[in-house]
Amino acid sequence: AQTVTQSQPEMSVQEAETVTLSCTYDTSENNYYLFWYKQPPSRQMILVIRQEAYKQQNATENRFSVNFQKAAKSFSLKISDSQLGDTAMYFCAFQANNAGNMLTFGGGTRLMVKP
Amino acid sequence: DAMVIQNPRYQVTQFGKPVTLSCSQTLNHNVMYWYQQKSSQAPKLLFHYYDKDFNNEADTPDNFQSRRPNTSFCFLDIRSPGLGDAAMYLCATSWATGELFFGEGSRLTVL
């Protein structure tokens, strides 16, 4: 079974600054995907970024990038130039290739961007 | 345009009174999921449909049932809601592999 751990229940950052959210996971699988999902207050959960485990290059989506360390089983999310609209719960999630589309979520990190 | 639509967004029910939550999708995805999310916690998978095949998580209470009459619709039935069932219920869809698309959720209050 897989586990996903987010060690920071809450974080805050000043607008325009950079923040990094941590995620570690435990698995015996070799082929898997990792995701960061964003859930704004009272709004739907949306995918922020996705990383395939077989890719060494870290995924990047505009202001969002990851630091994927496969050996260390670490998958952190960096948000650059933070905006007020980035205020949300962020969930790290794991998906094994042989488990269909089942996601294992971390406990979440509540991020507050301050003006 | 919303692709996964949940109704109602807010549902209040009395202890023990059955409730049905609905989910529809315009994506034609073959997999549909129901998650339960309690305050500030991670979503917990209740069950999912792979096409018409129903897959129940081992720890999902019998009080929770689901129906998928066609590709586009999926329902969550809570037969006798208890106070502990108050939560946000999230519907999601996907292809067999890849990203999950979530609805905005239905918040259930049990009085």
| Range of A91-100, B8-17, B92-101 with top mean pLDDT | B8-17
If you ran DSSP here, which 8-state letter would residue A86 be given? G
Looking at residues B17-34, what average pLDDT do you find? 96
Among chain B residues, the shortest Cα distance to A109 is held by B40
Instruction: Give contacts of A35 with chain B, Cβ < 8 Å.
Output: 99
Measured torsion, CA atoms of residues A53, B34, B104, A26, in degrees rounded to the nearest 10: -30
Looking at residues B97-110, what average pLDDT do you find? 91
If you ran DSSP here, which 8-state letter would residue B16 be given? T
pLDDT at residue A75 in the model? 97
pLDDT tens, position by position, B28-37: 999 999 999 9
Two tokens, residue B84: 């502990």
Report how far residue B87's alpha carbon sits from residue B74's, in angstroms, rounded to the nearest whole number: 18
In contact, A44 and A91? CB cutoff 8 Å: no
3-class secondary structure, B51: coil
Give the β-pairing of A109-114 and A10-14. parallel
User: Rounded to an integer, what is the distance from CA B41 to the centroid of its chain?
Assistant: 16
Two tokens, residue B70: 């066609």
- Smallest CA-to-CA distance from B100 within A111, A29, A94 is with A94
pLDDT tens, position by position, A22-66: 999 999 988 899 999 999 987 889 999 999 999 989 999 999 999
Instruction: Give contacts of B3 with chain A, Cβ < 8 Å.
Output: none
* Chain B, window 13-52: residues with a beta carbon less than 8 angstroms from a chain A beta carbon: 31, 40-43, 45, 48, 50
